[in-house]
Amino acid sequence: MVLTVGRRLHILNEYSSRCLKQVRRSHATETFKWSHRVFSGIQPTGSMHLGNYFGAVQKWVEMQNAGESVIYSIADLHSITLPQDPKHLHSNILQITATLLACGIDPDKSILFQQSRIPEHTQLCWTLGCLTTMARLAHIPTYKEKSATVKEVPLGLYVYPVLQAADILLYRATHVPVGEDQTHNLELVQHLAKIFNNRYGHTFPIPKAVVADSSISRLKSLRDPSKKMSKSEQDPKSRIEITDTPDDILEKCKKALTDFTSEITFDPEKRPGVANLITIHSLFTGLDPAEICEQNIGLDTGRYKLVVAEVIQEKLEPLRQQVQQYMSEPQYIEEVLNRGADKASVIAQQTWLDVKTKVGLQINEGSYRCLQVSEKRVM
């Protein structure tokens, strides 16, 4: 019996459909228990500031040292959503890696890697992008916020959350540290994981948010305390960076916007500028804001700024020197990123093979033989 091309395609489609139904039935009866795994990332755009350090990196180090399975990404693909100078970007990748190492990220305890070295990130991004809609992406608050600042919106800015979802799901992370302003992005990750699992069988855990303390994750700009401290802010005096010199720190603290009341009181609503300085002071020393106010009775805000500057200088100077030491050894940084990519690649390749097989992109010897048996029975 000779089969036409149309008939062979019909047989293949029927066979694929039967196999998919069997997979779904088998998955429906299984109970999946995913190993606890944390994933997070940081963009190599500009230097790390206190908001990054206290809002994310300090927690990363704590989870790493607690023995958790942690994966941290230098999210360089995300950074090119908007134009970057290639030379500066390369330097920033090295510097952010050096800064993470100086802050306590241990490549022997964590997987620390450069995102673009793992091609499965973009491959899974495309697959997940085919499961969502333009309307859903357009409603994500971070997209609305960032697109409002550019005349022509790059496609990368639009699909940014899908790549973020691919970053997380590729490593089958169960927990993701996020700030309060990033929960909407994680909701998309959860949504895409559920869609994929329902359509192709249980493949991804539904990651949970590990929300940082709001007072820590949203340290305010020194120049405009109505905004959070940010690497994208044009005024460099708006933030304290880990690599700032003692003179830089002193100058930025002096220029910090406060108010016309001289007394040191902690009132984030009515006195956000002063409260921001007290919060920074508290984070570095572990003192309660009330204790800080009591210790500084009699000081006006001008002199209190000098106190805060001294505290920051004392704590950051060892980190700054450590960053400089790592930056003087670029070959070591490359070695760290290479080892991290090797470890990350093992997990990424396993996940992507599973995804390809379930979606139908993977044609392996076993499925080919199974198809041959099916065709022989028909013939």
Nearest to 358 by CA among 114, 103, 27, 10: 27
In contact, 268 and 275? CB cutoff 8 Å? yes
H-helix segments, 44-180: 50-52, 58-65, 76-79, 86-103, 120-129, 134-138, 141-147, 155-170
Q: Which residue matches tokens 């009699």? A: 298
> Is 252 part of the annotated catalytic residue set?
no
- Catalytic option among 21, 33, 59, 146: 146
> Is 146 part of the annotated catalytic residue set?
yes
Strand, helix or coil at 113? Answer: strand
Give the rounded distance of the alpha carbon of 370 from its chain centre: 41
> Is 228 part of the annotated catalytic residue set?
yes
- Catalytic option among 231, 237, 343, 356: 231
Nearest to 165 by CA among 128, 119, 200: 128
Q: State the DSSP code for 265.
A: -
Nearest to 121 by CA among 36, 37, 35, 41: 41
- Residue 192 CA to residue 195 CA, distance in Å, equals 5
- Residue 117 CA to residue 340 CA, distance in Å, equals 10
Question: Which residues are within 8 A (CB) of 185 and not within 5 positions of it... i.e. 6 or more apart?
Answer: 140, 142, 161, 164, 178
Q: Which residues are catalytic?
A: 146, 228, 231
